[in-house]
C-alpha cells in the first residue's frame, strides 16, 4: 500500500498545492485504496495488486486530475518515458519538396555507396572516410537550404 501512496505523491508533485488539488489527490487515493482492497480480497498477491492498481489508475488519472486542477498545468507520469507534446522535436524543412525528398534518403544512399564501393574494391581500410565526408556535405546542405522549422 505504501508503493501506491508514493506513486500518488509523485503523480501530484508537479501540480500546484491548492484546495482542489488536495481534494483530487484524496479522492483518487480513496479510489486506489478501495481497488487495492477489492483485488486483495480476490486472492491476488500484494505485488500483483500494486502493479494492477497503478497501471489502472495511471491510464485514467491524467484526465481526471487535469479536470479537477488548473488546465494550464500538464500532467506528467514519472513512470512513463514519453515526451510531452509541447517538447517534441521540430522537423526542419527547406520548403522545396524535391530537396526534402532527397534529404530523406541521404543516409541510406550513403550507406549503399559505402557498401558497394567497399565490396567491389575491398578497400575497407580507407572506405570509412565516406562517413565524415557525408556528414560535412549534409551539414552544408542543411545549413544552406534548410532555414525554417515547422512542426
pLDDT in tens, 33-62: 888 888 889 888 888 888 888 888 776 555
Same domain, 75 and 34: yes
What is the number of structural domains in the chain? 2
Cα torsion 8, 9, 15, 17 to 10°: value is: 120
Same domain, 78 and 118: no
Same domain, 72 and 100: no
Same domain, 58 and 19: yes
28 contacts 65 by C-beta, under 8 angstroms: yes
Please state, in angstroms and rounded to a whole number, the distance separating the CA atoms of residues 130 and 31.
Answer: 60
Please state, in angstroms and rounded to a whole number, the distance separating the CA atoms of residues 39 and 36.
Answer: 5
Domain that holds residue 22: 2-82
Give the helix ranges, DSSP H, for the chain.
Answer: 2-11, 19-41, 46-68, 97-104, 106-121, 124-127, 130-145
Q: Which helix (H) or strand (E) holds 92?
A: strand 91-92
Q: Quick one: pLDDT at residue 93?
A: 61
Residue with cell 479510489: 31
Q: Quick one: pLDDT at residue 120?
A: 92
58 contacts 79 by C-beta, under 8 angstroms: yes
Contacts for 147 with CB less than 8 Å, ≥ 6 apart: 94
74 contacts 84 by C-beta, under 8 angstroms: yes
Q: Quick one: pLDDT at residue 142?
A: 76
Among 31, 53, 82, the domain-final residue is: 82
Among 82, 116, 134, the domain-final residue is: 82
Same domain, 9 and 65: yes
Please state, in angstroms and rounded to a whole number, the distance separating the CA atoms of residues 47 and 26.
Answer: 22
**Within 13 Å and on the Cβ side, how many CA atoms surround 81?**
0
Stretches in the chain below the pLDDT threshold 70: 59-96, 146-151
Amino acid at each position: 500500500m505504501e508503493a501506491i501512496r508514493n506513486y500518488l505523491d509523485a503523480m501530484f508533485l508537479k501540480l500546484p498545492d491548492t484546495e482542489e488539488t488536495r481534494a483530487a489527490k484524496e479522492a483518487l487515493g480513496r479510489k486506489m485504496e478501495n481497488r487495492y482492497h477489492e483485488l486483495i480480497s480476490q486472492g491476488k498477491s500484494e505485488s500483483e495488486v500494486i502493479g494492477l492498481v497503478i497501471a489502472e489508475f495511471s491510464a485514467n488519472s491524467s484526465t481526471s486530475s487535469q479536470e479537477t486542477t488548473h488546465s494550464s498545468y500538464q500532467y506528467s507520469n514519472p513512470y512513463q518515458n514519453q515526451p510531452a507534446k509541447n517538447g517534441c522535436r521540430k522537423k526542419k524543412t527547406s520548403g522545396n519538396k524535391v530537396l526534402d525528398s532527397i534529404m530523406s534518403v541521404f543516409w541510406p544512399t550513403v550507406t549503399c555507396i559505402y557498401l558497394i564501393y567497399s565490396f567491389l574494391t575491398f578497400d575497407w581500410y580507407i572506405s570509412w572516410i565516406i562517413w565524415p565526408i557525408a556528414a560535412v556535405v549534409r551539414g552544408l546542405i542543411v545549413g544552406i537550404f534548410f532555414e525554417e522549422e515547422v512542426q
